[in-house]
Amino acid sequence: MANNKGNSLIFYMFELNTSCRAVYILIEELNIEATIQKIDMRKGEHLTDDFKQISPLGQLPVMIDNGLKLSESSAILCYLVEQYGNEEQQNKLMGINDIKIRAKIQMALYFNVSRFYKPVADWLRPQIFRGSRPTEGECLKLKEALRQLNSLIKSYSKYVAGSDEPTVADIALFSSVSFLQVLNYNLLQYNSLWNWLKRLKKSSLELPIGKSLISLQEWQEELNAKSNENDC
């Protein structure tokens, strides 16, 4: 049974947006009954008057839950765990019983927003919206962001906030990395990152993460991206 039977979470997402996909993975993991409203940014659906009533800047993702309207995917991730997770899930995904782990989860989420997410999005955008290749500058910024994520993971033993189980920070960062993997980006050179990705796929998040990868692969086939190795 869904965790919020009777409640009314509405989640607005663009399927090819990394931040939206992170929230979607969590919704599946927490088994939240949600109305998913797909907004296709390629068709400009985020710019319609109807959608601007919900998100004045045309920003995605956005959720509305019992009168609370929230944007910023990391804030949504934290809210959903607090609102719908049981104590075990809250502890595992957000470290509610350990102030140091909790602080490191926040640090990794802010690292994603301030340093990692944008280089990935800038690299993806031309491929998603125009079917064209990213520029050399975009490639270099992505490489630097990957080097930084690799260092962050290397400094801990298992997951990005130093915990034994994956947290919301792993979900947020995985969501970005999964696009690179599906587009055959050469991630093997980032050894700690690569091993983290392998661990994550066999972790307690195996199911929602596997499902997320499958739906991305379908998009990749649609896109008919070239299938040989891609490290730019």
- 229: three-class secondary structure by DSSP: coil
Choice between 70 and 213, CB closer to a copy of itself: 70
Is 103 a binder of a copy of itself (CB under 8 A)? Answer: yes
Q: Using CA atoms, how far apart are residues 128 and 41, in angstroms rounded to an integer? A: 10
The 8 Å CB, 24+ separation contacts for 41-45 are 41/14, 41/16, 41/17, 41/129, 42/16, 42/128, 42/129
Q: Using CA atoms, how far apart are residues 188 and 89, in angstroms rounded to an integer? A: 31
Crossing angle of helices 18-29 and 168-182, in 10° steps, is 120
User: How near is the Cβ of 184 to a copy of itself at its closest, in Å?
Assistant: 28
196 class by beta-carbon count within 10 Å (0-12 exposed, 13-18 middle, 19+ buried): buried
User: How near is the Cβ of 72 to a copy of itself at its closest, in Å?
Assistant: 4
Is 1 a binder of a copy of itself (CB under 8 A)? Answer: no
CB 18 within 8 A of CB 120: yes
User: How near is the Cβ of 92 to a copy of itself at its closest, in Å?
Assistant: 19
Is 100 a binder of a copy of itself (CB under 8 A)? Answer: yes
Q: Within 13 Å, how many C-alpha atoms sit on residue 140's CB side?
A: 3
Site string for a copy of itself, 132-161 (x = CB under 8 A): ----------------x--x----------
Among 10, 64, 113, 128, binds a copy of itself (CB under 8 A): 113
Among 8, 110, 211, 217, binds a copy of itself (CB under 8 A): 110
Among 47, 68, 207, 214, binds a copy of itself (CB under 8 A): 68
Among 55, 83, 89, 204, binds a copy of itself (CB under 8 A): 83
- Where in 27-66 is the site for a copy of itself (CB under 8 A)? 56-57
Structure tokens at 37: 């409203």
DSSP 187: -
Count of residues in the chain: 232
User: How near is the Cβ of 14 to a copy of itself at its closest, in Å?
Assistant: 16
Choice between 16 and 109, CB closer to a copy of itself: 109
- CA-wise closest residue to 76 among 100, 109, 31, 107: 109
Among 37, 79, 187, 219, binds a copy of itself (CB under 8 A): 79
How many residues belong to the site for a copy of itself (CB under 8 A)?
A: 26
The footprint of a copy of itself (CB under 8 A) covers: 56-57, 68, 70-72, 74-75, 78-79, 82-83, 99-100, 102-104, 106-107, 109-111, 113-114, 148, 151
